[in-house]
Amino acid sequence: MRKTVVENHNRYLEREALYKSFGYDVEKERVSIIEQARPLRGKILEAGTGKGHFALALAKQGHKFTTFDISEKEQKFARLNLEYFGLSHLADFRIENGEHLSFKDKSFDVIFSVNTIHHLLNPYKFIDQLTRALSSEGKIILSDFNKKGFKIMEKIHATEGKKHEVGKTTLPDINKYLKSRGFNIKKHRTNFQEISVAYYKAMKK
């Protein structure tokens, strides 16, 4: 088992090194997203685990959270990576379809979704599920690549003989939708990411 954990972590490091070769520091970017989301109180959900870059950033800061993804393969990768650092006990890994979440209404106080929006076929259904699962005084933190970030992702995928598929719905589109649902939006920016912190207008800042 330890051999599997180490081999998985080595693959993670290779991926991280590939990002850095294009000037993208994954760990630094993820920490920046957490900083913009503070304070973090109550139950935390990560929507879209992927390979676990953001899950690892949360765990390294000692946060307990639930994280879901539709891909069992990606979840396994992320779980093994947290196990390498002895942090897997902080995360409750779930296999979920983002358009039909099993969580009860108002289950979470903080919901993160990082670099997920551009992958989705039905992003508004996904957002509807996140808002349903959000407590009345909670907040949703959405982050996706800016133009510079998307260009780097195109280059990274090209080195692997792949194409980075990007949907038509953008983070600004989602911001407009959330505003129509009664949310305030605070916007932030890093070198490669656009970040939106959405909270109900009645919530104290």
What string of pLDDT tens digits covers the 205 residues of the chain? Answer: 677 899 988 988 898 899 999 999 999 999 999 999 999 999 999 999 998 999 999 999 999 999 999 999 999 999 999 999 999 999 999 999 999 999 999 999 999 999 999 999 999 999 999 999 999 999 999 999 999 999 999 999 898 888 888 889 999 999 999 999 999 999 999 999 999 999 987 654 4
Q: How many domains does the chain have?
A: 1
Query: Would you state the pLDDT for residue 94?
Result: 97
Residue with structure tokens 């390498």? 84
**Residue 27 domain flag:** yes
Question: Residue 180 sits in a domain of what CATH number?
Answer: 3.40.50.150
- Phi/psi for 5 (5° steps) reads -60, -45
Q: Are 58 and 45 in contact (CB under 8 A)?
A: no
**Alpha-carbon gap, residue 193 to 87, rounded angstroms:** 26
DSSP class of residue 51?
A: T
**Alpha-carbon gap, residue 106 to 117, rounded angstroms:** 21
Domain range holding 98? Answer: 2-200
- pTM value is 0.94
**Which structure tokens are listed for 101?**
């979440």
**Alpha-carbon gap, residue 44 to 57, rounded angstroms:** 13
**Residue 175 domain flag:** yes
**Residue 111 domain flag:** yes
**Alpha-carbon gap, residue 196 to 10, rounded angstroms:** 32
**Residue 205 domain flag:** no
Q: Are 193 and 171 in contact (CB under 8 A)?
A: no
**Residue 10 domain flag:** yes
**Residue 59 domain flag:** yes
- Phi/psi for 197 (5° steps) reads -110, 115
**Residue 149 domain flag:** yes
**Residue 185 domain flag:** yes
